[in-house]
Structure 1
Amino acid sequence: MSYKKLSWFFSLFIVFSFQANADGNDLLQKCNKAVQFMDSPPENPDFGSIGFCLGMMQGITNLNSVYEIRLEDEALFCGPEDGINNGQATRIVVKYLKDNPQDLHQHEGVLAIAAFMDAYPCE
Structure 2
Amino acid sequence: MKPKILLAFVLVACCWGESAMAKGSQLLQQCQETLLIFDGGTSKHPADAARCLGTINGTVDGLDIANSFYSDQVKKDLPPVICWPDEAVTKDQSVRIIVKYLREHPEKLHMGNSLLITLALVSAFPCGKG
Please indicate the TM-score interval, normalised by the length of the shorter structure. 0.7 to 0.9
Per the alignment, residue 54 of structure 2 pairs with 55
Identify which of 54, 61, 75 aligns with 2:80.
75
1:15 equivalent to 2:17? Answer yes
Correspondence list, 1:1-123, <5 A? 1-16=3-18, 19-42=19-42, 45-66=44-65, 71=71, 72-123=77-128
SS of equivalent residue, structure 1 residue 55: helix
Q: Deviations over 1:102-123 (max 9, x none)?
A: 1101111110110001111112
Query: Which amino acid is the alignment partner of residue 119 of structure 1?
Result: A
Alignment: residue pair count: 120
> Do 1:34 and 1:50's aligned partners in 2 also have CA atoms closer than 8 Å?
yes
With over 3 angstroms needed to count, the CA separation of the structure-2 counterparts of 1:116 and 1:98, relative to structure 1, is same
Aligned-partner Cα distance in 2 for 1:36–1:84: 19
Q: State the TM-score, normalizing by the size of structure 1.
A: 0.83
> Do 2:56 and 2:114's aligned partners in 1 also have CA atoms closer than 8 Å?
no
Higher CA-based Rg: 2
Structure 1: 5+ residue stretches without partners: none
Q: State the TM-score, normalizing by the size of structure 2.
A: 0.79
Q: In percent, how many aligned pairs have the same letter?
A: 24
